[in-house]
Amino acid sequence: MAITVVTGGSRGLGFETARALKALGHEVLLVARDPARLHEAATQLGCEYRAVDLQDLDATKATFEEILATYGAPELLIIAHGVMSEKMSKTLRTTLDEWRRVMAINLDSVFLAVNILGAAMAEARSGRIIIYSACLGRMSGPGNAGGLAPYRISKAGVNALVRNLAHETNHGTRGLLVDAICPNHTRTDMGGPDAALSVEEGADTAIWLATRPFDPTVDKTGFLWEERQIIEW
């Protein structure tokens, strides 16, 4: 059985997605930064793991290459890691260090996962890539501009990456599906205890995308999804 790779899998939405897929019979491998927390999560789920600081792009590249060499092309690639930018990180007030930190984790490491693992999936003409993005990365709709610039721009980059890759792989007709999701305001470390949604609710769309039947003549891929519905970029 091909492996399911879940980044950010030691906690929050990543852990919940991994837990649900493991319960459905998937062989799961977790990727996250904190070795102790990751070991605890992997032990709880009974799965493999790799610890890597996703801000360190050289180490991240090596980790994804090692996963590919060890397990082959994944069945599923769930990218659930990410960081919020500092509260006052407006475009004209963001430091270079803060910009690089957020972009490395939220966009560059996502690119590496897709570029290395996703390329093998595309070559195998099989698999699904699901990336946790954010509605704050949209170019339309409410609340799509103002403040938290590195975070918003990194997520806009993720949305553009998904749209572009879907076009490159002919929208699922070649066997590879790729989608972004907006989990909405969820009770995670980033979302805080007062968020409207539980982690189970926040992860629901990702799990649905990972397991739904797909007919390329009818169904759609290459979009930003929220609550199992396509929303405008």
Q: With H, G, I as helix, E, B as strand and everything else as coil, classify residue 67.
A: helix
Distance CA 218, CA 126 (A): 18
Which residues neighbour 219 within 8 Å (Cβ) at sequence distance 6 or greater? 172, 212, 213
217: left (phi over 0), alpha (psi -120 to 50) or beta: alpha
**CATH architecture entry for 3-231:** 3-Layer(aba) Sandwich (3.40)
Q: Is 56 exposed, middle or buried (0-12, 13-18, 19+ CB in 10 A)?
A: middle
Q: What are the residue boundaries of the structural domains of the chain, listed by start?
A: 3-231
Is the pTM above the cut of 0.75? yes
* Rounded (5°) CA angle 104-110-115: 120
pLDDT digits (tens, 9 = 90+) for 169-222: 999 999 999 999 999 876 777 777 877 788 899 999 999 999 999 999 999 999
pLDDT digits (tens, 9 = 90+) for 16-40: 999 999 999 999 999 999 999 999 9
